[in-house]
Amino acid sequence: MKNDPFWQSAKVLLRYRAQLAVAGVGALISAGCFGAGLGMLIYVFKLLLADRKSLHDMVADLVDKHLTGPRVPALVHDAGLWVVAHLPEDPFRGFVTIMAVIAALTIVGSVGRYIHEFITLTVSQRAALVWRGRMFRRLIHAPMGQVLERGNADHISRIVNDTGLLEVGYRSILGKTTAELTKGAAALGAAIWLDWKLTMLALVAAPLIATVLRKFGKRIRRAAKKAMQQRGRIVGALNEALGGLSVVKVHNAEGYERRRFGRVNRDLFAQEMRMRQARALSSPVIDTVALLAVMGAASIAAWFIFGHGEGKAVEPEKYFTVLVMLGAAGNSLKPLTALHNQLSEASAAATRVLETVALPVEPVGVDAPRGAPKLPRHHQSILFDDVTYRYPSAARPAVAGVTLSVTHGQTVAIVGSNGSGKTTLLSMLPRLLLPESGKVVIDGVDAASVSLRSLRGQMAVVTQQNVLFEGTIAQNIAYGRRHEPMERIVSAAKAAFADEFIASLPLGYNAPLGEGGAGLSGGQRQRICIARAVLRDPAILILDEATSQIDADSEAKINMAIRALRKGRTIFVIAHRLSTVVDADLIVVMADGQIVDRGTHAELLTRCAMYQTLTQTQLVQTRA
């Protein structure tokens, strides 16, 4: 149990010790009232089945037998006599008195159970809240390569679905199951107190039940883990199909997406069906074993009741009470079956949750090592020194032994076919990806040796995806810089030629953006992203195909904005448009993760066959 992932994750509950202590008191009150109520049944059976002796006389005998003597405090003895004096001597009135006491115990026990359930539900939900926060924090700070390896859909499934299963597991061990177990323990304790031999006979099936639970639990745990992986695939399929719904519809691909989702959905169903037999069998098997055990105990009790055992026949009301207590204990312990199944699923979920929070983190913020020097603002040169990077599942490096030196203030365009390593190379500059070998040197300083926050603080990146977030236009421009005054936001928007369309909106800079910037054109969204980069006043600007998906007018304005930004900055451009490339101070041609040639537009046209091909196909066509 110590090494079980679920119990490792359950350590988070220890931060709520005080609340759980109160919940435990509530559970004990509920169990104590339940056990006391069952214990009073023997007097009910005596009244109904024995010689109809009054409750007054029965309790008086009990006081004389157990509360009299030199070892019993006088106060306890006097209290017992006071109770006897107030008990009715009429059997019927005694029966009603017992019913009233049991009803009062039930009410008090229900209050205790409410307190227990309310607190444990709160604690379970808070624990799930903590795990969701921990997972997101770890993912947002994890190296990008680690996050990309599993894919966004799987991470979303872990945060949303797996933590939900953990919450169910926490509720199981803290909530109703705990209450039922304490009640069962109270009933079992009362049965042992009345007749321990008969009770032990009924418990001979306990080891067999434990073995059955363990066997079914292993099957459920394996199938549950595979089912969770399939849920991640479903999230991925939904994101792709619904996120690209316009493409799906225009290409009449509804049938294809329906079939693709159907395959993933059936795979999930198949994994869930592998759990059905274990789930369906566990409860009836255990119920049958427990019933046979109680029936065996009842048969032995009947043997003695009918006088077939040694000595005289025993009091039937005593054995009836024991059997009722055993039945109540068995019914209360029945949730063990569901508990074990739920914990098996929760254990599989905990494995995936703990895998996520065990991811390494980038040294940013509170995780940054103390003493890491800050990188002064870039003003000399940038050197990619023999850098190599291979993605985890790739057969060959995406970048292989690239060396590139850039002088401060230059605009460098990197061109090449898809998969040539352009984006991977530039991703090493802000340390989104770490080179397997080689290093990135900025102004003579290894970028891996400086504070990551100071490194990224002087960079800005604009990608072709137009990444916008929930919030207003002003909040998107000031993303990551919450306290920027509106004057600087407007100034950045003007520099990016975005102010002209923002000012025409009814709410201007306070206009809320729809999902992904819905309602704005591609060029408008891109200009907001450019404004965000301008506001950062970066020393190094990376434009990753920033003009590949916009109209000619937006392209012209964005190019004007980029030209205005060039002064005093080093700019890297991944470009598919000739208008962007020809203005560059240096053009780098890449293929298969390596640099094929470098030079100006005129130089490359005269000597580089690959660049000539690119200008005649991709670059020229895109410009048109």
Look at the block and give the residue holding tokens 């041609």.
Answer: 589
What is the C-alpha to C-alpha distance for residues 353 and 351, in angstroms, rounded to an integer?
A: 6
Question: What is the rounded average pLDDT for all residues in the chain?
Answer: 77
Query: Under 8 Å CB-to-CB from 590, ≥6 apart: which residues?
Result: 402, 414, 415, 416, 420, 421, 422, 425, 596
> What is the mean pLDDT of the segment spanning 416-440?
90
pLDDT at 89 over 80: no
Look at the block and give the residue holding tokens 């709160």.
Answer: 122
Q: Do 571 and 544 meet the contact criterion of CB atoms below 8 Å apart?
A: no
> What is the mean pLDDT of the segment spanning 523-531?
86
**Range in 254-263, 425-434, 499-508 with the lowest mean pLDDT:** 254-263
Q: Model confidence at 146, in pLDDT bands (50, 70, 90)?
A: confident
Q: Do 130 and 163 meet the contact criterion of CB atoms below 8 Å apart?
A: no
pLDDT at res. 366: 46
- Reported pTM: 0.69
What is the C-alpha to C-alpha distance for residues 337 and 341, in angstroms, rounded to an integer?
A: 6
pLDDT at res. 526: 84
Q: Is 319 exposed, middle or buried (0-12, 13-18, 19+ CB in 10 A)?
A: buried
Higher pLDDT pick, 55 / 574:
574
| CA 214 centroid distance within chain | 26
Q: Model confidence at 400, in pLDDT bands (50, 70, 90)?
A: very high
With a pLDDT cut of 70, the percent of the chain lying above it is 65
pLDDT at res. 624: 36
**Range in 121-130, 289-298, 338-347 with the lowest mean pLDDT:** 289-298
| 491: its two tokens | 């100034």
CA-based nearest residue to 217, from 278, 270, 273: 278
Q: Do 188 and 325 meet the contact criterion of CB atoms below 8 Å apart?
A: yes
CA-based nearest residue to 401, from 423, 382, 425: 425
The SS3 assignment for 49 reads helix
Q: List Cα–Cα distances, 282 to 161, 181, 214, 295, in angstroms.
A: 25, 18, 10, 20
| 529: its two tokens | 């992203």
Look at the block and give the residue holding tokens 């030196």.
Answer: 405
The SS3 assignment for 570 reads strand
Higher pLDDT pick, 274 / 250:
274
Query: What are the chain's domains?
Result: 5-54+90-229+278-357 (1.20.1560.10), 381-623 (3.40.50.300)
pLDDT at res. 621: 46
pLDDT at 127 over 80: yes
> What is the mean pLDDT of the segment spanning 98-104?
81
Length of the chain: 624
480 Ramachandran zone, left/alpha/beta (phi>0; psi -120 to 50): left
Look at the block and give the residue holding tokens 């890297």.
Answer: 572
Q: Do 143 and 434 meet the contact criterion of CB atoms below 8 Å apart?
A: yes
pLDDT at res. 276: 61
Helix (H) or strand (E) holding 595: strand 594-599
What is the C-alpha to C-alpha distance for residues 505 and 524, in angstroms, rounded to an integer?
A: 12
With a pLDDT cut of 90, the percent of the chain lying above it is 13
Look at the block and give the residue holding tokens 């937006």.
Answer: 554
The SS3 assignment for 542 reads strand
pLDDT at 145 over 80: no
Read off the pLDDT of residues 159-198 as tens digits, 9 standing for 90 and up: 888 888 888 888 887 876 666 667 666 666 766 666 666 6
pLDDT at 303 over 90: no
> What is the mean pLDDT of the segment spanning 31-59?
66
The SS3 assignment for 498 reads coil
Query: Under 8 Å CB-to-CB from 103, ≥6 apart: which residues?
Result: none
Look at the block and give the residue holding tokens 């991944």.
Answer: 574
